[in-house]
Structure 1
């Protein structure tokens, strides 16, 4: 966990930045007054959960709450657009004074939303529920010593692999980067790949690998933000992928392009470093094929920092600025995010602790493995000291450099240089002090 002194310093930097950049004071802790009348409190909650076929619908979960809590009634609204569009809507609504009390927000979005004065600091309320969540997930809702809500789902990196294909090559699930490097050579000699280098995912994917290697990209020095995206962990990650690219021992393809799925289907791709949430759909194209049930999930190989993973995606439920009943909102927030089987049915890797039943589809696709138990271990192993900084979304420029690295136009290390330079520029553009 981050030290108390670091947390306090970061809070001060955020507050200074908010004042200087936006003319907004930092949000006060547990703002809002408790209702004084006997009328029920109404809490609005906006989300982007899929609510797909076979899932426990959000409205059905909320109805259970409403039936059991007549004094705190919740109205859930599904936003059907993408995440950036929802953020824009929330910003507009907060400024107009008609925002919902609760809304789903990605962890990487939280710091900038807080700096913009769009989120409440509900640290006092959040403390009541902190023990219900993994440390790494809970840290995603922190901005310095402020806490803006509660975590909902997480995306720790894990390793997916075709156990049958590995066995045919005499391989086991890799425990270390050295193992994965050796396995890559063995597989490539047989025309197969145990990893895919995916430039369109470089932003979050490689940042998460740096976290798994023990790095912390953002911190503070005095009253300024510090940025270190080129630490020892990043160097190990870069050297690993550069070696595979140079030796043509990794599949170089976009994660969300046709090439990835084609390689999965034809059996040439037999391993993949991916986010835990991919378990819900990664193997869909193999249903009904001989490869159905051959894949497994394992912990991420040791990137040099022990049993550690890094965060790739995930979101929490934040309390928005202007919420009149934050205590009641947080009471529901905690209840909702601890309905772990219901949320797992939505395809989420839940942030709350507790045993989660592996959905039937997932169990079938992974050969009966207790996938959710494996993902829970990865969640518990997430680096708890990898906070995001305001403007983190601009680091998507890493993807452009990663694409160049696949053709020899750049080195993998250059991707982390891009992250470093872009992060510093973005913080400055937001009017935040940066130590250099």
Structure 2
């Protein structure tokens, strides 16, 4: 992925979770639309007045109705915001506060809220236009009728929004939405980078790399959101350097932490060091621009909260495991970028920390397994997921990660279900999938 594309996507990730941008854009569109209709009516007044089913009252009556409609729209929008805050509060308490971004990033939610704010802006704009009677000779029937129609439609939009919010509050809806985000991330990130030379995919660093290299240290605190690998590669080629990054997207940096090593040390200048750090975007929050585990963590958090004593919802946790099984199968059949880059002559120029499938696999299942280690139903579902993954037809199976999870499950069975019917059932399930040692 090119540097500017990656950087733009990171900016998009930061802005799409906001309820601000889409409603503002829609409001400006409504304002522009009513002004366009008003100007059209000024130029084609006679043509408009031939349409008999349009508003036929006086301007003063129209102003009075518009003021009432504006007041009603403000009240309706206040109700919408209140409903939204209630849903966000429930989502934060039951599914986790990080899932608020998932709700706010819903384009449908943003469009609904934008329509209400846009209707207020439309009514207010038309009231301002009608205030000066000298700009038109006859009542602007089309503009007034359009505003009345939009206000009437808002009644049904409110019903649609309530239905949308009610569905959004269901755990399964959130799980499906997060699963789609993970799937899109895998499709976007799990590809072979065209900058990576497959013929020389080993990081053969110079013999004196450690002794003649210079360590670089972070001057900021925050999460790495995006690393511009193509720009780093170009910088290394132009300056004759070999760059090693000990961090990747999703890692947290603190001031003074070692970011990497640059070789040779005598070629490094303050300008080069600034250019290198400019390729690493650091912010207050993690984003999914290059971080594969970003949305996986959200899905795992739903399962952990569902298994907490205060909620104790096994079915939600099982739904998460069902979704994770498909996503992990897709991950096993994908190729993660290695971030090892060479120049045209095959010399190593850039090597960076990369994600590994076993680590992602382990982090995705370990916390859920630990939270449900005393729950035979959760362990049964984990055995089912691990068994299906191990016996699947995907060629790139991560057997080590699967076997490690199975070993932990055997330990939980011995520790919590010794000499019980649950132990017999769980061991039978292990034997069914050939997972018993």
**Pair in the same fold by TM > 0.5:** no
Q: TM-score, with normalisation over the residues of structure 2?
A: 0.23
In terms of fraction of residues, the more strand-rich structure is: 1
- Structure with the larger RCO, 1 or 2 (CA within 8 Å, 6+ apart): 1
In terms of fraction of residues, the more helix-rich structure is: 2
Greater gyration radius? 2
Q: TM-score, with normalisation over the residues of structure 1?
A: 0.23
